[in-house]
Amino acid sequence: MFDLTGKCALVTGASGGIGGEIARALHAAGATVGLSGTRGAPLEALAAELGERAFVLPCNLSDPEAVSALPKQAIAAMGAVDILVNNAGINRDNLIMRMSDEDWQSVIDVNLTATFKLCKGVLRGMMKARWGRIVNISSIVGATGNPGQGNYAASKAGMIGMSKSLAFEVASRGITVNAVAPGFIETAMTDKLNDEQKTGILGQIPSGRMGSAQEIAAAVLYLASPEAGYVTGSTLHVNGGMAML
């Protein structure tokens, strides 16, 4: 099950906690992986760890030209992009009443606009191949909202709406488009929370614990697999029961 031998996967945000685990999971299933991110050193370290079938593709997703170039670079390095995982994301948390236009725009640009542009950039090859998998990493807050995260929640809800629309458009060509919506996962992003915030959050999670990056990666692996060919336009919530959607 879930054999990705011969498939090429581009993973954005691969220098981060969740992205790195996604790349490891796809690679372990046999895929060639393109590791994209802004920080070169962690990408190089991950590529060295994975060994063969791993390519480092640095890209700053807040730079529109770099975003447009990334699919071409990935195809040049790997020969194709059969699987795209839009995992990269940033947050600039603040109450809406205190949020600057810049903090709104930068989060929308990286999380939503770059996702759109990367989807568009890889679709040509997927259409010709009559096979493709796009997995967009959304968030529980895209469905529930979260105070202080108006920009982030909007971008993550936007990813879901875009995924569903694209899923409609390309389903007849063997391409699936799905979202994974993590709840609270142990990463650098959630490490920034103080103990009081963490205790408060854990009280809302029926599982009573934070999730791991591996548990997100497993959901992505499933959606990227040939076995998930009949699953499209869906959002897979991986949140320990925090929101049962």
Partner 1 sequence: MSDIPDRVRKIVVEHLGVEEDKVTESASFIDDLGADSLDTVELVMAFEEEFGIEIPDDAAETIQTFGDAVKFIKEAS
Binding site, annotated residues for NADP(+):
38, 87, 152-156, 185
φ, ψ at 104 (rounded to 5°): -65, -55
Beta strands in 101-154 (DSSP E): 132-137
Closest distance of CB 34 from partner 1, Å: 22
Element (DSSP H or E) covering residue 83 = strand 83-86
Q: Take residue 25 and report the two structure tokens written for it.
A: 């999971």
Closest distance of CB 195 from partner 1, Å: 51
Closest distance of CB 2 from partner 1, Å: 28
Binding site, annotated residues:
38, 87, 152-156, 185
Cβ contact 48:124 at 8 Å: no
Marked catalytic residue, from 104, 152, 184, 222: 152
Instruction: Give residue 102's identity as a one-letter amino acid code.
Output: E
Judge whether 152 counts as a catalytic residue.
yes
Which parts of this chain interact with partner 1 (CB under 8 A)? 124, 127-128, 169-170, 172-173
Cβ contact 21:217 at 8 Å: yes
Residue 29 burial (CB < 10 Å; 0-12/13-18/19+)? middle
Write out the catalytic residue numbers.
Answer: 152
